Amino acid sequence: MSEVQTQITCLCDEVFPVHYDDELDIAQEENRKKILEGQYLSFSCPACRKAVKIEPRVRLYDGNDCWEVFPETERDHFLAGGLEISRDLHRVVFGYKEMAEKVRILGDRMDDRPLEILKFTFLEKQGWPEGVSLTYHEIRDGKIFFYIEGLKENEVGVTAVPQPFYERIQGQLGSPPPEWADVLSGPYVSVQKLGSQ
């Protein structure tokens, strides 16, 4: 772990010092909880008491796997090939939401690759509607639940996919169909890559 000390500025103009770990072991449940509950990288302003969130570059570790978390704003830069990333990374993600999703997937011991392919299949069926995104939520009663944002304004939808669909995709990962290649190519395993093309 390495602790970073910095100063942040609240919307109310208060400047105050904070510290956070820029490396987090997510094999530990308490660290996963901190991310999922939104406490990680969130600080209470001493003047107005509002939560101030920051989005620095951080690294998450899970055993030998390392994930680098970039600010959301770096995604386009990365997709354009302008972001230098080290080759030993297991995954990269962009923004807190993607980080939390991967942590949820890991906590449930799921494989992110078939999950991204399920999203791909859903979005393809819908004709790639602009601004629509799916986020893995949970696996329950033999079904995999995704939250859908952007289909209707200010509404989050839910879709449930039977687990055998997931398992069938997982079984095909050894020789995947060519149309999955872009989604599955690491270290950014995400259907988001296609949405912004």
Q: Shortest CA distance to 190 belongs to which of 100, 94, 109? A: 94
Which is closer to Zn ion, CB of 52 or CB of 117? 52
Which is closer to Zn ion, CB of 19 or CB of 97? 19
Is 43 one of the binding residues for Zn ion (CB under 5 A)? Answer: no
* Backbone torsion region of residue 125, taken as left when φ is above 0, otherwise alpha when ψ lies between -120 and 50, otherwise beta: alpha
Is 10 one of the binding residues for Zn ion (CB under 5 A)? Answer: yes
Q: Which range touches Zn ion (CB under 5 A), out of 3-11, 20-28, 126-134, 144-152?
A: 3-11
Is 14 one of the binding residues for Zn ion (CB under 5 A)? Answer: yes
Which is closer to Zn ion, CB of 12 or CB of 173? 12
Q: 90 in helix, strand or coil? A: coil
- Determine phi and psi for 177, rounding to 5 degrees: -60, 145
Given a contact cutoff of 8 angstroms between Cβ atoms, the answer to whether 126 and 152 are in contact is no
Is 27 one of the binding residues for Zn ion (CB under 5 A)? Answer: no
Is 48 one of the binding residues for Zn ion (CB under 5 A)? Answer: yes
Q: What is the CA radius of gyration of the chain?
A: 18
Which is closer to Zn ion, CB of 15 or CB of 27? 15
Tell me which DSSP letter residue 41 carries.
T
The Cα 156–Cα 93 span in angstroms is 22
Is 47 one of the binding residues for Zn ion (CB under 5 A)? Answer: yes
Residues of this chain that bind Zn ion (CB under 5 A): 10, 12, 14, 45, 47-48
